[in-house]
């Protein structure tokens, strides 16, 4: 199964003409590109977005944040309950219009019976946008998110990383060694103890 994408290019774009279709404005229609779909019928981008939402909205998941100074030094690594949330996320829309019904006699505040907004509620149940970041999954399906906030760089993962020796020279993958795994288990035990109080 293939997902079909049609690209519009300006006539002065320097690309070879892929078909004879041309609009009145002179824009040429490029050759249709076939984008492969996976076994779930999703493109790579669609699957990444769905996987990110699944991982970052799982209330049982322990994420890991690694805060990195601009000079590359590791400031702190710590577990994250639920997920890292951008300050732009809100539980209510920033713009809404209400239908006025009356003024309360006990208060000078107006009363409204209905609110409407043109903002969309995101799949995570919030309004607003996230800070800029990129995310990806390594070949083992582990989540990585890289961004900057408050003058620091940060890396969010769904597993602990030994950032002192982060790259395996042969595979190029992050090295989650036995010490990091033991450290993760110890942190999870401590979190469960705190939740049990």
Task: Report residue 167's pLDDT band, with 50, 70 and 90 as the boundaries.
Answer: low
pLDDT at 48: 94
Q: Which of 79-83, 168-172, 180-184 has the lowest mean pLDDT?
A: 168-172
Task: Domain 44-84+128-197: give its CATH code.
Answer: 3.30.450
pLDDT at 107: 59
Average pLDDT over residues 170-189: 63
Average pLDDT over residues 22-40: 82
Task: Report residue 134's pLDDT band, with 50, 70 and 90 as the boundaries.
Answer: very high
Q: Which of 11-15, 32-36, 139-143, 188-192 has the lowest mean pLDDT?
A: 11-15
Q: What is the C-alpha separation between 194 and 5, in angstroms, rounded?
A: 51
pLDDT at 70: 74
**Where in the chain are the domains?**
1-36, 44-84+128-197
SS3 196: helix
Which stretch of DSSP H or E encloses residue 190?
helix 178-196
pLDDT at 49: 94
Mean pLDDT, all residues of the chain:
77
Q: Cα torsion at 151, 129, 46, 53 (round to 10°)?
A: 80
pLDDT at 3: 45
SS3 99: strand
The per-residue pLDDT for range 60-109, each reduced to its tens digit, is 989 999 888 877 778 888 999 888 888 889 998 888 887 766 655 555 66
Measured CA to CA in angstroms, residue 146 lies from 128, 133, 134, 175 at distances of: 20, 6, 5, 17
pLDDT at 103: 57
């Amino acid at each position: 199964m293939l997902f079909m994408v049609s690209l519009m290019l300006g006539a002065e774009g320097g690309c070879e003409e892929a078909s004879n279709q041309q609009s009145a404005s002179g824009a040429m229609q490029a050759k249709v590109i076939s984008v492969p779909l996976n076994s779930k019928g999703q493109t790579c981008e669609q699957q990444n977005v769905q996987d990110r939402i699944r991982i970052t909205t799982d209330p049982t998941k322990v994420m890991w944040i690694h805060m990195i100074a601009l000079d590359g030094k590791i400031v702190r690594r710590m577990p994250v309950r639920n997920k890292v949330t951008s300050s732009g996320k809100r539980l209510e829309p920033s713009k809404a219009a209400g239908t006025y019904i009356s003024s309360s006699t006990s208060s000078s505040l107006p009363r409204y019976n209905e609110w409407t907004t043109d903002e969309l509620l995101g799949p995570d149940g919030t309004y607003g946008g996230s800070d800029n970041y990129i995310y990806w999954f390594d070949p083992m399906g582990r989540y990585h998110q890289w961004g900057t906030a408050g003058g620091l760089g940060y890396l969010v993962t769904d597993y602990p990383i030994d950032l002192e020796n982060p790259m395996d020279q042969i595979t190029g993958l992050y090295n989650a060694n036995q010490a990091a795994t033991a450290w993760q288990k110890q942190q999870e035990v401590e979190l469960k103890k705190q939740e049990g109080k």
